[in-house]
Amino acid sequence: MMGSYPAVRLRRTRAHAWSRALHRQTVLTPADLIWPLFVTEGRGVEEPIGTLPGVSRWSVDRIGERALEAVSLGIPCLALFPNTPADKRSEDGQEALNPDNLMCRAAKAIRDACGSDIGILTDVALDPYTSHGQDGLVDDAGNVLNDDTVAVLVDQAVNQAEAGADIIAPSDMMDGRVKAIRMALEMGGHHNVQIMSYAAKYASAFYGPFRDAVGSRGLLKGDKKTYQMDPANGEEALREVALDLAEGADSVMVKPGLPYLDIACRVKERFEVPVFAYQVSGEYAMIEAAAAAGAGEREALVLETLMAFKRAGCSGVLTYHAPLAARLLGG
Ligand code: PBG
């Protein structure tokens, strides 16, 4: 039987800090965070990204420092994204298969700096390597080819696993890629390399600053709507997740984050598997812009939004605010 006022007063348990602490249902810790890092060529480079204030691209020789910082803050995993120079980009994105590409060198540098104290997540998709900025191979008519792309993504994933990646994260949204990548990893002896699939990834307007960061914004003609999901669709996200799990994904991601919190929550309730959310570049920029405009307080906005992901059922969050949040959380 539900009581009623005045026997029931929900303010009672909120009246003191100790009581609020005691009743708090959701916890956010540095261990919930994955820190995305952008890697660039050169030596001793820190290159600020205009549309992502406070976020920089780092040269490979400075990536180890970031990894050590993450370990000291209690952040368990880094996600790597390369800013491939224009002369190494091509129609077919072959640089993705180079064992000595930026991503692979960065993964090795992290391993040298931190051993197995930190997880390395690598993104599988061709957009940081193609001259047209699409995530896959494109035919003469401009169509992004599914099966031909999957064949390249498989080699890209194996290349990353050989460089020491712990988690392969396909963000390309081609059909059937998780199964193909899982089989290749098994064949290559990478039984314990995980797959975190960007299962429900939407064709979103929130990716702009990321495309600046990896240098693909000016290159991309058109959009990604033939492979990334329509923001209007919810059920389809559940189908995407079901397929990726059946194909061998260890965990799934929903992306972007806050505008798709309903999806994260539905996926968690339906499948009871580890769900991650990507609080993407445009969301980061929005918080920074609000803080800069005096419309909100940065630290409070960051912690409230990250807590929301945990409350929705996420195991963790990819966020550019990871080091700030970890510091605030006492990591
Ligand atoms: C590319 C990729 C994108 C992001 C992660 N991987 C951009 C895109 O799909 O165009 C976006 C991340 C962000 O905005 O922070 N496959």
Give the CATH number of the domain where residue 164 resides.
3.20.20.70
Mean pLDDT of 76-86: 97
Residue 291 lies in a domain: no
Question: Looking at the predicted structure, is the pLDDT value of residue 1 above 70?
Answer: no
Distances (CA, A) of 250 to 37, 80, 245: 22, 19, 7
Whether the CB-CB separation of 169 and 137 falls below 8 Å is answered with no
Residue 100 lies in a domain: yes
- Residue 58, C-beta contacts closer than 8 angstroms, at least 6 positions apart: 37, 38, 39, 40, 45, 46, 47, 66
Residue 133 placed within a domain: yes
Domain-embedded: residue 92: yes
Cα distance from N-terminal residue to C-terminal residue, the chain? 43
Active-site choice (108, 179, 224, 255)? 255
Which single residue is written with the structure tokens 């993504």?
Answer: 153
180 falls in which pLDDT band (50, 70, 90)? very high
Q: Report CA-CA distances (Å) from 76 to 79, 124, 186.
A: 10, 20, 25
At residue 312, what are phi and psi to the nearest 5 degrees? -75, -10
Check pLDDT > 90 for residue 217.
no
Q: Are 171 and 242 in contact (CB under 8 A)?
A: no
Model confidence at 331, pLDDT cuts 50, 70, 90, reads: low
Q: What is the pLDDT of residue 118?
A: 98
User: Could you tell me the two tokens for 221?
Assistant: 């003609």
Alpha carbon 262 to its chain centroid, in Å, reads 18
- Average confidence (pLDDT) over 65-78: 98
Q: Which amino acid belongs to residue 281?
A: S
| Residue 144 within a domain | yes
Contact yes or no for 28/306 (Cβ under 8 A): yes
Q: What is the DSSP string of 119-131?
A: EEEEEE-STTTBS
Measured in Å, residue 67 CA sits from the centre of ligand 1 at 21
For residues 248-273, average pLDDT: 98
Asked if the structure places residue 302 within a domain, the reply is no
Give me the torsion for CA of 68, 69, 70, 73, rounded to 10°: 120
Domain count, the chain: 1
Per-residue confidence at 221, pLDDT binned at 50, 70, 90?
confident
Mean pLDDT on 293-297: 98
Nearest to 220 by CA among 202, 208, 229, 204: 208
DSSP per position, 253-318: EEESSGGGHHHHHHHHHHH-S-EEEEE-HHHHHHHHHHHHTTSS-HHHHHHHHHHHHHHTT-SEEE
Q: Which residue has its alpha carbon closest to ligand 1 atom 8?
A: 207
- Closest CA to ligand 1's atom 5: 171
Decide: 130 in ligand 1 pocket, CB within 6 A.
no
The catalytic residue among 179, 201, 224, 310 is 201
Q: How far is the CA of 28 from the centre of ligand 1 (A)?
A: 25
DSSP 172: S
**Mean pLDDT, range 94-120, rounded to an integer:** 98
Q: Which range marks the domain in which residue 119 is found?
A: 28-253
Q: Calculate mean pLDDT across residues 282-294.
A: 98
Residue nearest to atom 10 of ligand 1 (CA): 207
Residue 48 in domain:
yes
Residues, the chain, total?
331
Mean pLDDT of 202-219: 94
Task: Find the mean pLDDT for residues 312-318.
Answer: 98
Confidence of residue 216 (pLDDT cuts 50, 70, 90): confident
The stretch 42-46 carries a mean pLDDT of: 98
pLDDT surpassing 90 at residue 39? yes
| Rounded percentage of the chain residues whose pLDDT exceeds 70 | 99
Pocket-testing residue among 171, 216, 319, ligand 1, by greatest number of atoms within 8 A of Cβ: 171
Please tell me the distance from the alpha carbon of residue 84 to that of residue 324, in angstroms, as a whole number.
Answer: 27
Per-residue pLDDT averaged across 236-248, rounded? 98
| Domain-located, residue 14 | no
In one letter, which amino acid is 146?
A: N
Q: Specify whether the backbone of 248 is left (phi greater than 0), alpha (psi in -120 to 50) or beta.
A: left
Is 201 catalytic? The answer is yes
